[in-house]
Every structure is written in structure tokens, then in C-alpha cells.
Amino acid sequence: MFTDQIKTYVESLNSEQTRRRYRAALTEFARWYRTTYGQAPEAERLTESEGREWRSHLLTVKRLSAASVNLRLAAWRGLARHYGQSLRVRGVKRVTPPLDPLNGRELGRLTAAVAGDDWLG
């Protein structure tokens, strides 16, 4: 039944790439749901707490990046919305690592490359 719900929802999407990614994400959710709850999910009965548990699983067990988790949650929320639900499960904030400053040697090379040989003059 959930497979049919996924198929109906995915066919309503415009982009082939989005259809492929969302289908994979929702199939992954269905496998997780069966393992966790012992039964197949139903799109009309999904809950926010199930979404939060899945997000936690994706972050802690599967150790996925924020972008990967957010894609899966977008597919999940879209499926729920398609079947008349408005589920609010927050995505994961993307953290941009700080930039490493140039060391003295790299800074000198950069300045020489930009200003030419007479960069001190």
C-alpha cells in the first residue's frame, strides 16, 4: 500500500531527477519504518514524532550530511502534504566550516603573483 502511495506522489512531481531521489528517500523511510515499528507506514497516518525519530536515525546511525537529511525530509513532508497532512519536522542546519587563513609564505606568493616582482615598491 505505501509503495502505491509513494508511486502516486512521485508521479505528480515535475522533474525526473526529483522523482528518482524522492522515490529512493521514501523507500528508505519505508524500510526504516518497518524495522522500527514492525509494520508498513501509511501516508495519511504519519506523525511528526516519527519524522523526528527518522531524522535522528539519519543523523546518528547513518551519519548523513545535512543536505542528505534535508532532501529525505523534504520528500517525506511532500508525501504527507500530498495526502492532506501538514507535518512540521525541521531540517538540519548546514554548518559551513571556517576558512583557513593564508600563512606568510602563501600570502607572499599571492602578492607576488598579483603585483609582479616589485611588490614591495
pLDDT in tens, 63-92: 999 999 999 999 999 999 999 999 999 998
66, 91 in Cβ contact below 8 A?
yes
Give domain status of residue 78, yes or no: yes
CATH of the domain at 46: 1.10.150
Please work out, in degrees rounded to the nearest 5, the angle formed at the alpha carbon of residue 66 by the alpha carbons of 53 and 31: 40
Name the residue range of residue 20's domain: 2-82
pLDDT in tens, 25-75: 999 999 999 999 999 999 999 999 999 999 999 999 999 999 999 999 999
Flag whether 100 is in a domain. no
Question: Residue 67: inside a domain, yes or no?
Answer: yes
User: How many C-beta neighbours within 10 Å does residue 57 have?
Assistant: 16
Domain presence at residue 114: no
Q: Is residue 14 part of a domain?
A: yes
In single-letter form, the type of residue at position 109 comes to: R
Distance between CA atoms of residues 24 and 85, nearest Å: 21
- Residue 110 within any structural domain of the chain: no
